[in-house]
Amino acid sequence: MRIGKQSQAFTAIATSDAEGVTVRGHDLCADLIGKTTFTEYFWLLVTGETPDKAQSAMTDACLVAIAEHGLVPSVQAARMTLAAAPEAWQGAMAAGLLGMGSVVAGSSEVAGTYLAELVARAGDGGDLEAAVIASLHEHKAARRKVPGLGHPQHSAGDPRADRLLAIAQELGLAGRHVEALRLLGKHAGPIMERPLPVNVSGAIPACMLDAGWPQGAMKAIPLIARAGGLSAHLFEETRRSIGFIMSHKADTAIAYDGPASPEDAAAGE
């Protein structure tokens, strides 16, 4: 059964023949291998364009910023999967990446969408600060979380976000999206009546959108970055396994409060 349009059978990413491989119009062996960095290649693959030095540097900074943050849920899932199936690196890597959603790591996508909406709401040359303030009041009235703000550990301010925003400024890339994020950081605390510093999941899309990265591919940044961090954890897991230790700690930390067994119920009478 055919589903969807059948007239778009094309790809603009890559092709190959007996003589070689072409990627985005470049000869893979003659033009790219040994001549481009992975970050530059990543940008080319996704956008079809070669990044300039500032775009490449900004992407590098974002990838480094989000690659590793300790034993977060995605890392725990990956390490416990490898402990249970030590032959399945690909399964363990998938387990870690599958959990990157709107709360952890993948939240850059949500924040990017929100920042783009704020910029569009203000319009070209419009009052961005007024758009930010109005949106914050709307979020407060609807009791919605503000994307890109707040952190359970870095409550006084996310140092990764501060560094990324500074780099965007140094590279001459900071534009309307960075401005919108800074305005959110300025007004969110007083309006929402609690500390809401800018976090790294807000800084990444602000910097990348101003650098020219497509909004629809924003989740690719944390996914690629965390694949690097997960690789480190999985390799360590093969040398010093903690997967079953984490599993055991969960057993001891989480108490059962369901119905008692017939034997326990009888004993308690």
Cα(157)–Cα(149) distance, rounded to whole angstroms?
Answer: 9
Residue 101 is predicted with a pLDDT of 77
Percent of the chain exceeding pLDDT 70 equals 94
Q: Which tokens in the block code for residue 73?
A: 């849920």
Q: Identify the domain containing residue 131 by its residue range.
A: 52-241
Q: Which tokens in the block code for residue 128?
A: 């961005």
* Domain count across the chain: 2
Identify whether the C-beta of residue 239 lies closer than 8 Å to the C-beta of residue 85: no
User: Are both 29 and 57 inside the same structural domain?
Assistant: no
User: Are both 119 and 92 inside the same structural domain?
Assistant: yes
Stretches where the chain sits below pLDDT 70 are 1, 105, 151-155, 264-269
**Tens of pLDDT, residues 69-78:** 889 899 999 9
> 3-state SS of the chain: helix, strand, coil percent to 5?
60, 5, 35
User: Are both 30 and 103 inside the same structural domain?
Assistant: no
Residue 150 is predicted with a pLDDT of 86
User: Are both 33 and 160 inside the same structural domain?
Assistant: no
Residue 152 is predicted with a pLDDT of 61
Beta bridge partners of 16: 21
Cα(208)–Cα(81) distance, rounded to whole angstroms?
Answer: 32
Q: How far is CA 76 from CA 67, 122, 246, 249, in A?
A: 15, 41, 8, 12
